[in-house]
Amino acid sequence: MARTITEEEKSVASTLLAKARAAMQEIESYDQERVDRLCRAVAWATANIETATKLANMSVDESGMGGRQPTRRAKVMGILRDALRQKSMGVIEEIPEKGITKYGKPAGVVAALIPVTSPYVTPAGMAIYAIKCKDAVIFCPHPASKKTTNETVRVMRAALKKLGCPEDILQCVEAPSIPLSQEIMSICDVTMATGGQAMVRSAYSSGKPALGVGAGNATMVFDETADIEIAARNTRISKTNDNGSGCSADGNLIVEDSIYDAFLAQLQKEGGYLVNDAEKALLQAAYWDAEGHRTPKTIARSADAVAKVAGFAIPEDKTFFIVPEEHIGKEYLFSTEKLGVVLSIIRYKGWPMALDKVRQIFETGGRGHSCGIYSWNDEHIHELALMAPVSRMMIRQVQSSSNAGTFTNGMPMTSSMGCGYWGGNSTNENVSLKHYMNVTWVSRPIAEDRPSDEELFGEFNNSEIF
């Protein structure tokens, strides 16, 4: 049974909120140039190679999850790029033909729920967007990675202090708990919830506005036109980045029969380990408990570490698992979200079967999140886009990074991806700068724009009433 919040925790929450509101008042008069400078400082404080490496190592040492390479620093750089290219105060957009002028204003104090799988990049990105809008943020870290998140916030606070900005624009809970996080969400102005479904549901029930993310089950389709070498390389990059900790990492590969064998062989050249039936059973027992819940000991762990847990050995050059699968459904666990270095591979014959496999996958889990396709057939791409119940679809790209924006696509840079009504979320967009501000729409009169009855009702105009 969940415990209730203590009086001490209530005091902590109210103190954090009071400091945040006071800090917001201090920066109320900051202009765009000064705010942009703060964004640059915070980004540099976390994304410089020395600090990014330190935080990546700290994260692995603390939680055991993810990788030690500071590859995710690129996400901070991309978020900074997007933030600097937009206005966030005063007039942010004008639409003369509609007589509309939009004014950007702070959203307020943001409660930021941070996942165990991204304890330093997610807070850094949130901080950039929030500071750009002159919001304050109270970070609620996951208990299993609280030291890393607190250190990330400490580094950013030091950068703010050096520039004469009140540090309390960014604060972090030192002793996190579910009751304390719930209290903070209930008293802040808006919650940004990046993490598991229980966290997101809690945010939505806080009584305040919340933007949450949905579960992933990224599914990739490979038709007969796919470039096998590039597709296999990208799959390996996506699957092994931070040991598959991201919800965008390839989870299910749906491969056309004519290229299946060649693609499977290429995946193995890229470091994939093809499990046999006995190893598949051992891997499933390691990845999921008897109730079908993911086991913490295998989430975002390296392939060799997972193999040891499962009870078999793999060669040193193998970095991810390939699991042949013939069935799809909640009872076939390899067709569900994995959050690790294992992926299922499913054969199809004929394009209609591919679309049906995609449908089955998303009926199983991951509706609203994402899919991708390796194809040069525009009709296939179009038909998949028409039917897939997802908020984002990547074409011939590294799924794990591309979903959240890269320097080679136009997706807004973020660490938080909404899954729309499919995934039980209030947005299907990449959560970015626009979500951290309030907007005042100013409307001026324009020439009358009233269509005629004939134009509006068409064939039904002056017809008999139904």
CB 368 within 8 A of CB 390: yes
Strand partners, 345: 253, 324
Structure tokens at 372: 């991708």
Measured in residues, the chain has a length of 466
Give the span between the Cα atoms of 270 and 253, in whole angstroms. Answer: 15
CA-only gyration radius of the chain, Å:
24
Query: By C-alpha distance, which of 280, 271, 274, 340 is closest to 311?
Result: 280
Residues 193 and 201: their CA atoms lie apart, in Å, by 9
**With contact defined as beta carbons under 8 Å apart, do 126 and 75 qualify?**
no
Question: What is the DSSP code (8-state) at residue 213?
Answer: -
Within 226-350, where are the H helices?
Answer: 228-240, 257-269, 277-287, 303-310
291 residue type, one letter: E
Residues 357, 382: contact at Cβ < 8 Å?
A: no
User: Which residue type occupies 438?
Assistant: N
Distances in Å between the Cα of 221 and the Cα atoms of 325, 376, 388 are 15, 12, 11
Catalytic option among 140, 247, 371, 419: 247
The alpha carbon of 139 is separated from its chain's Cα centroid by a whole number of angstroms, namely 17
The residues near 317 (Cβ < 8 Å, ≥ 6 apart) are 271
Q: Is 172 one of the annotated active-site residues of the chain?
A: no
For 65, phi then psi, to 5°, come to: -105, 155
Residues classed as catalytic = 247
